Structure formats: structure tokens, C-alpha cells
Amino acid sequence: MKKIYLLGVILIFASCKTKVQESPENGTNDMDLAENASVSKTLDFVTSAELKETVFYLASDELRGRATGSEGIEKAAVYIEDKFKSYHVAPYFETYRDHYKAQGMDATNVVGYIEGNDPELKKEFIILGAHYDHIGVVNAVDGDSIANGANDDASGVATVLAMARYFATNKNNKRSILFTLYSGEEIGLMGSKHLAERLKEENINLYTMINFEMIGVPMVDKDYEAYFTGFDLSNMATKMNDYVNYKLLDELPKAKEFQLFYRSDNYSFFKVFNKPAHAISTFDFTNFDHYHQVGDEAELMDYEFMADLVNKLIPAFEAMSNTTTQEIKMNE
């Protein structure tokens, strides 16, 4: 996430069981889809172990903070590519790489693709994304100079990869899904800006875009699971709550106060496409005091919480990918 200055503490979050819909048959109406999203099989697909493995690698000292243009971020890109290959997620372009220049440096986004299984709806796209860069090496604190970026945003990358594995395994999405990991976020949203403009030039039919930003620790004393930046700009959060039949997402007043909607990669897609594009986060301004510091370490993430949250989010995205009409719209 682009720079803000706040402190916090970490508390514990109680997890609960999650439900997911079965793939709807042709002819299921959207009201039935929303009502049935929470009454089918129990979703326990994403594990804390897989999320932990990804975050621990991306936030390891070996990658030296994943600054854009560095050797460390290239290792991260190869890791993401290898995950896509192992899940049988196809590249969207000729390769997984989307190359661009960032402040004179060679930089790349990594993009995976799962085609929708409906002959018409597959022409519409949902984009799930997160940034895989961080701020690299900084001034040393107690001998540590590597800003590892576990929460910001290895946690988001792990989420996108886990969702890619889910949809590649189940193949139950009627709309097509792009899984997009960006570099250049920490130096001005450069990677997502480039990709959004490239996709716009190719006339992609974008339905929605969702960005995952800092979701490694639970929020404090909230009656919902995560917050949605730009909550009032579209009905996306409300519809996602409808799809799972409980309050999964809500607005965080502090996020609006600090204009977090404009501070991460969702904004690039909103600006270019003027379509619903939001970030999901659990950084609530009180629960994590290592933002852009060397203390943002993999050991501090709550992987059971993360797995529970991702397993709760997947049914909402699955429903989103299968509704027969475009229910999610910008608000007037």
C-alpha cells in the first residue's frame, strides 16, 4: 500500500465455517444464486499451510524486500509463474509476463488466466489482483535493513494464488478470471496502471476488479471480516454479502478518511475503465504497527485467519462469476 503513517496492535480473531455454492446450472436465476450461495457444501479448500509457504518465501531475506527492478522481485516473479504452471493456470498474454518500464527500470507484472465455461459470459472478465513488490532495503533497525513486506503485500499475493488454485481445480466460473500480480505499486501504482491501459487498448470487457491489500492480520472488534475501499462507489460489497448471506464486508471509516481507495492498484483499473474496482483489506489502523518497516515479517501473520478469510471470500467471487446478468454496478 502506498505510504501512510499509522501504528497498531494485533489481536486474535475467531474463525467460523464457510459455505460455497455448487456451480449453477443454466437457467438458475440470480436471486436463487444469491440465496443458495451459503447453503451448499462446506468450503475448506484453502489451507493455512499454502498461504504460509507463499508469504514466508516472498517475505524472506533472500528476496531482500522485493523492490521493483531488483533481483529479489525477479525471484518472486519466477515463484508466481511456477505456481501458475503447477495449478494449470494459463498465461493471458503470450507468456505470464507483462513487461513495462518503471522509472527507467525493466519491470514486469505476472498475469494468469482461467477462461470462463459459458460461451457468452466468458467474454466478460473479473480481475483478482495484488502487488508483489515492496520497498526493498531501508535504514537498518537493530541490524535489520530488509523491509520484507509480509503483510504488504505478500499476504495479498498468497490470496490471489490460492484463489487461482481453487478456480483452476474446480473450473466452475462462467465468466473469465485474470489473476494479476503487479510490481511498481510502491513507486506510484506503475504496474497496475500499465496493465489496465494495455487491457483497455485490447478492449477487454471488464466486469469487476478486486485488489487484495494487507490481509495478514485480523481486524479488532469488528462484526465483519474485511473492509472494502470505495465502499459507496458501487454495490459490489453489498452484492458479495448477499451472495454469501452474511456481512462479510463493510466500510471502514478510517479507510475513507485516508482515501485508501486511491492508494492501491484497484484505482488504476477504476480510473481507466470506470468499472467497479475496489481493494479488500484488514489493516484497520490499530492492528499492525510495522507498515513499511523492517518488522513486517512473515512470522507476524495469522495464517489460520487468512485461510478462513480466503475460504469465505471464494464463494462470493464464485457467485459473481456465475450470475446470468451483471448485477454489480457503479452507484449513481
pLDDT value at residue 191? 98
Q: Is 55 within 8 Å of 167 (Cβ atoms)? A: no
Q: Is 183 within 8 Å of 111 (Cβ atoms)? A: no
Q: 190-231: per-residue pLDDT in tens?
A: 999 999 999 999 999 999 999 999 999 999 999 999 999 999
Place of cell 522485493: 66
Domain boundaries, the chain: 40-322
How remote is the C-alpha of 42 from its chain's centroid? 22
For residues 279 and 297, what is the distance between their CA atoms, to the nearest angstrom?
22
CB-based burial label for 62 (10 Å; 0-12, 13-18, 19+)? exposed
- Mean predicted lDDT score pLDDT of the chain: 90
Tally of CB atoms within 10 A around 250: 17
Q: 266-292: per-residue pLDDT in tens?
A: 999 999 999 999 999 999 999 999 999
Q: Is 218 within 8 Å of 12 (Cβ atoms)? A: yes
CATH class of 40-322: alpha beta
Percent of all residues in the chain with a pLDDT value above 70, rounded to a whole number: 87
For residues 158 and 299, what is the distance between their CA atoms, to the nearest angstrom?
15
Q: 29-46: per-residue pLDDT in tens?
A: 454 444 444 434 457 999
Tally of CB atoms within 10 A around 142: 7
For residues 166 and 311, what is the distance between their CA atoms, to the nearest angstrom?
10
